[in-house]
Amino acid sequence: MIPALDIDPFCTAFFDDPYPAHAAMRDAGPVVYLPRYDIHAVARYDDVRGMLMDWGSYTSARGVGIFDFAKEKPWRLPSLLLEADPPLHDRTRKLMDKVLSPAAVRALREAFAIAADTLIDDLLARGSFDAVRDLAEAYPLTVFPDAVGMPVENRRFLLPYGNMVFNSFGPRNSFFETAVADAEPVLAWVQAQSKRDALSVTGFGAAIHAAADDGDISAAEAEVLVRSLLTAGVDTTVNGLCAAVYCLARFPAVFAQLRADPSLARLAFEEAVRLESPVQTFFRTSTRDVTIGEETIPEGSKILMFLGAANRDPRRWERADEYDITRRNAGHVGFGTGIHGCVGAVLARLEGELVLGALARKVGSIEIVGEPKRRYNNTLRGMAFLPVRMTAA
Ligand code: PQP
């Protein structure tokens, strides 16, 4: 018997405090059934990881959201990366691996470091500010579109667009409906930004379009891949940076540790990604009758993977709920793993390292000075408002 749990993972109460429900799902068994949505779910580390690794049994090509592309027409052109299996996936992934290669990302380091130092200096001069808008959003909205090769106008339009896509992996609830309405005015703009002519001749966007010249992909596919970059590159790192600042503000002793050794910046970011898991969930669809633990689940089942619950599974992590920037957190699934493991992780980690490094070197204290507000999203975990005061070191 697969345990059935009366949990709604797409509602305000869950988003406000998902941890009791995460524990209930992990403790109920390797796989649970959520009748409210007629879906299965895995929340233990080993089972989430196992599912991420087994792309043959758990397809992404029927969508990584709750809707099954085999039963319903996708609301947008499916992603050639996120919503694809081998061999199609591997062809586009190979290209994106090249575009976002460690060498390509390393070349951005200098410019990204200057942007981080400048931002933190400006924020120190202000003293009090909203760490979501003024820090976590401001930084990726500068450096990422620069790296893609986008013009400077309207970059904030990327936020409602990403917010809509990440909401669309969940059910058609009010979060999704609101996000669609908010994004409607920017849809044409995002589409236009994916075109070759809209992008500078250097940058990730141009590199993708250049692959079309080589015949690796078609010109139309290049646009869909640039769309992937524009969708994936901002809201994710915004919530990653937000998670890190929120952790450092809540745990001053840890911030003191980081200040004492700024070379911990990279680990401090990684640990925030483990603990807060900005990308909380993704779905897979079973391609055959599959066995999880002792239980058999039929072909064509939607199965929700709780990355955030896996990253706090006490079966895997000691003091799982603690923000410990010196722990060995390698193996967390905040960036996924397997063939769909985050291709942008090198970029995200660079951004995290440089912003947290600047905080470590320049800032003496970070204090939360008002009521933080959570941002509700069917996939992403983050804040809408985080009022802080920073003092210089
Ligand atoms: C988490 C690709 C990747 C990145 C797309 C797409 C959308 C989102 C993400 C999720 N993503 N990190 O549209 O191809």
Best residue for ligand 1 mutational test, from 75, 82, 159 (most atoms within 8 Å of Cβ)? 82
CB of 279 closer than 6 A to ligand 1? Answer: yes
CB of 342 closer than 6 A to ligand 1? Answer: yes
CB of 273 closer than 6 A to ligand 1? Answer: no
For residues 14-25, give the mean pLDDT: 98
Each residue of 224-249: pLDDT tens digit?
999 999 999 999 999 999 999 999 99
CB of 79 closer than 6 A to ligand 1? Answer: yes
DSSP H helical segments within the chain, as ranges? 12-16, 19-28, 45-53, 88-99, 102-106, 109-126, 138-148, 158-168, 174-183, 187-193, 204-213, 219-232, 235-250, 252-260, 265-276, 307-310, 345-362
Closest C-alpha to ligand 1, atom 8:
232
CA of residue 228 to ligand 1 center, whole Å? 6
Each residue of 136-181: pLDDT tens digit?
999 999 999 999 999 999 999 999 999 999 999 999 999 999 999 9
CA of residue 342 to ligand 1 center, whole Å? 8
Q: Structural domains in the chain?
A: 12-392 (1.10.630.10)
Residue 232, token pair as written in the block: 């994936």
Question: Rounded to two decimals, what is the model's pTM?
Answer: 0.98
Q: What pLDDT does residue 189 have? A: 98
Each residue of 284-301: pLDDT tens digit?
999 999 999 999 999 999
CA of residue 318 to ligand 1 center, whole Å? 30
Cα–Cα dist 95/224, whole Å = 13
CB of 231 closer than 6 A to ligand 1? Answer: yes
CB of 81 closer than 6 A to ligand 1? Answer: yes
**What is the atom index within ligand 1 of the atom nearest the CA of 81?**
14
Cα–Cα dist 193/76, whole Å = 17
Closest C-alpha to ligand 1, atom 14:
228
Mean pLDDT of the chain: 98
Closest C-alpha to ligand 1, atom 9:
232
Each residue of 72-125: pLDDT tens digit?
999 999 999 999 999 999 999 999 999 999 999 999 999 999 999 999 999 999
CA of residue 319 to ligand 1 center, whole Å? 30
Strand-strand pairing, 302-306 and 39-42: parallel
What proportion of the chain, given as a percentage, has pLDDT over 70? Answer: 100
Closest C-alpha to ligand 1, atom 4:
232
What proportion of the chain, given as a percentage, has pLDDT over 90? Answer: 98
CB of 236 closer than 6 A to ligand 1? Answer: yes
Q: What pLDDT does residue 216 have? A: 87
Closest C-alpha to ligand 1, atom 13:
228
CA of residue 165 to ligand 1 center, whole Å? 9
Positive or negative, the CA dihedral 136, 142, 147, 150 is positive
Other C-beta atoms closer than 10 Å to the C-beta of 329 total: 18
Q: What pLDDT does residue 243 have? A: 98
For residues 340-349, give the mean pLDDT: 98
Each residue of 35-67: pLDDT tens digit?
999 999 999 999 999 999 999 999 999 999 999
pLDDT at 18 exceeding the cut of 90: yes
